[in-house]
Amino acid sequence: IIGKASKKPLRGKKVLVTAGPTQEPIDPVRYITNHSSGKMGYAIAIEAKNRGADVTLISGPTNLERPNGIKVIDVITARDMYDQAVSHFGEADIIIKAAAVADYRPKEVADNKIKKSDSNLSMEFARNPDILLELGKMKKNQVLIGFAAETRDLLDNAKGKMNRKNLDFIVANNIAEKDAGFKSDTNIVSIIDSLGNVEKYDKMKKEEIADIILDKAYDLIKLKE
């Protein structure tokens, strides 16, 4: 049996997933990060492996168990993630960018622990590369999928990101809702594709969302073959 009915529909396909937060150092003992748990990206990586894919997972620092049968590449900063994502992009058929990448990093990393003083402290930040935007420019006949974390104007913002980054579809995540977002086991998502179709889903477990994403990715990869 071929295709959807097959138990291993992604056999022979390479899937690249990024997951988790990045950490941007301030000094030897401090860093800036976000609330990403990595659960969404890990769920996608595990499901892709269960469907027979050869999976590479580029992971920021998380507390999650290391999945079996998946090549995990650990990274700390957005720039590390960028380097790894760019170097593994060419070989991948499906690329899913679930990571919550820090948009900025402290411009200078202090060599020594910063000492407190009696005054306020300000810090300058430098822009990190937009990994997904760069991957979108490199895209050949691959399927490229992004996420959008929004607290308002969900669909408009997500649509803009999908177009700008040359994605096949984007998973828009309303992180302002209860039972959704970074730490939760569930999410409330809408999926917008490059034709402008919008599908709104009810609250689902991250594993169920992973199923939907991989079903859609499979359909698109078949169209491009």
Spatial CB neighbours of 21, under 8 Å, sequence gap ≥ 6: 33, 34, 35, 36, 38, 60, 61, 62, 99, 100, 102
**What backbone torsions phi and psi does residue 117 show, to the nearest 5 degrees?**
-135, -175
Between 46 and 101, name the residue whose CB sits nearer to Ca ion: 101
Closest CA to 79 of 106, 39, 42, 57: 106
Name the β-bridge partners of 72.
Answer: 57
Out of 80, 83, 103, 215, point to the residue binding Ca ion (CB under 5 A): 103
Catalytic residue among 34, 157, 163, 166: 34
Measured CA to CA, the distance from residue 97 to residue 132 in angstroms comes to: 7
CB of 101 to ligand CTP, least distance (A): 4
Q: Is 128 a catalytic residue?
A: no
**CB closer to ligand CTP, 173 vs 186:** 173
The answer on whether 96 is annotated among ligand-binding residues is no
Q: From the list ligand CTP, Ca ion, none, which binds 161 (C-beta under 5 to 8 Å, kind-based)?
A: ligand CTP
How far, in Å, CA of 212 to CA of 218, rounded? 10
Closest to Ca ion by CB, 80 vs 207, is 80
Partner touching 217 among Ca ion, ligand CTP, none, CB below 5 to 8 Å by kind? none
Residue nearest to Ca ion (CB): 103
The reply, when asked if residue 178 is annotated as ligand binding, is no
28/160 with CB nearer ligand CTP? 160
Q: Comparing C-alpha atoms, which of 39, 28, 15, 77 is closest to residue 182? A: 39
- Which residues are paired to 15 by β-bridges? 55, 94
Where does this chain bind ligand CTP (CB under 6 A)? 78, 97, 99, 101, 103, 128, 130-132, 146-149, 161
The answer on whether 130 is annotated among ligand-binding residues is yes
Based on the shown chain and the rule CB under 5 A, indicate whether residue 193 belongs to the binding site for Ca ion.
Answer: no
Residues with Cβ < 8 Å from 12, sequence gap 6 or more?
52, 54
Which residues carry a binding-site annotation for CTP? 103, 113, 129-132, 147, 161, 165
Active site residues: 34
Footprint on this chain of Ca ion (rule: CB under 5 A): 103
